[in-house]
Amino acid sequence: MTRNLFVPGLVLATALATTASAQGEDRAQRWLQSCDTEWKRDRARFCELRDYTIRPSSTLIVDGGPNGGISFFGWDRDEVKVVAMIQTSAENDAEAASIARQIRVETGSGRVRAAGPSVWGSNSWSVGYHVYVPRRSNLTAVAKNGGVSAQLIEGRLEFRTTNGGISLDRVGGDVRAETTNGGVNARLAGSTWSGRGLDLTTTNGGVSLAIPRGYNARLETGTVNGGMSVDFPITVRGRINKHIETQLGSGGPLVRVVTTNGGVKIYEQ
């Protein structure tokens, strides 16, 4: 329960934390509603939300397992809230519920991961995560078949997935993220990058980068097999080809967003 403390300097932080908490509940409920309704009717499905509150660690590591996506949200609390989104599939309702009961979400030692039963045939289970962390946090995320996203967080962020997109919204720090099969997009904020820089790559997928007007940075972007769309004022020596390295404004940390097979879209927000 959030208390309303009428103390100068704390009222705004309390309001922001309450807003973030309410938004988190909305996100979780939307996922649960979608999980319950958008499903093949020839199979039984069980959907469940589990909440965990843990202390911040020097680096929080979240493992999405074989089929779970991971989303991080920065908030103004000195605690970490993990919302585990559990879904199972089986031949009937009782079996789907039984699989869910055997899933354990482990949150100790700065690591979040799920363990569950071996399944057979067309039975399956997965756990995705919405993770709320202090705005200054160091995070590592690993997924196989699921996307990874983060918003309003600054720190050392290392994200990797095989099949899934990566989305970064107003983050900062030393950020490195890569996917093999999936699009990547980033929305920058402010007048320059806060921190060491951004390195965001995909092998098979498109790139989308939103840059504020008047932004200062060293920009590197490009593709091997794909088109280039640049709707942002830049200065390039020579011909514009499929790889651009340039200085925006007065320069700054490196912002690198590249793909091998996919289009590139750079635009002013």
- 75: in domain: yes
Q: Which of 86, 116, 135 is the last residue of a domain?
A: 135
Residue at 153 is within a domain:
no
The pLDDT score that the predictor gives to residue 9 is 37
Q: Which of 30-34, 197-201, 221-225, 248-252 has the lowest mean pLDDT?
A: 30-34
Residues 111, 63 share a domain: yes
Question: What's the pLDDT score for residue 8?
Answer: 40
Q: What is the mean pLDDT of the chain?
A: 89
Question: 117 or 239: which carries more pLDDT confidence?
Answer: 117
Could you please report the per-residue DSSP string of 139-195?
EEEEEEES-EEEES-EEEEEEEEEES-EEEES-EEEEEEEEEES-EEEE--SSB-SS
Residue where the block lists tokens 């008047």: 214
> What pLDDT, on the 0 to 100 scale, is given for residue 259?
97
* pTM of the complete model: 0.89
**Residue 63 within a domain:** yes
Q: Are 35 and 89 in contact (CB under 8 A)?
A: no
Domain final position from 120, 135, 150: 135
Range of the domain at 103: 9-135
Same domain, 178 and 74: no
Is 156 domain-assigned? no
pLDDT tens digits, one per residue of 176-185: 999 999 999 9
Together in a domain, 62 and 126: yes
Is residue 38 predicted with pLDDT exceeding 90? no
β-bridge mates for residue 179, sequence order: 161, 202
- pLDDT of 240 > 70? The answer is no
Is 189 found in the same domain as 85? no
User: Which residues make beta-bridge pairs with 150?
Assistant: 72, 168
Same-domain check for residues 170 and 128:
no
182 versus 32: the higher-pLDDT residue is: 182
128 and 201 both lie in a single domain: no
Tally of domains in the chain: 2
On whether both 172 and 73 belong to a single domain, the answer is: no
* 103 and 197 housed in the same domain: no
Contacts 24+ apart (CB under 8 A), 233-237: 233/268, 234/266
| 204, 117: one domain | no
198 part of a folded domain: yes
Co-location of 109 and 17 in the same domain:
yes
Residue 157 lies in a domain: no
Q: Is 93 part of any domain?
A: yes
- Does some domain include residue 140? no
Same domain, 124 and 196: no
What confidence score (pLDDT) does residue 36 get?
A: 74
Which pLDDT value is given to residue 20?
58
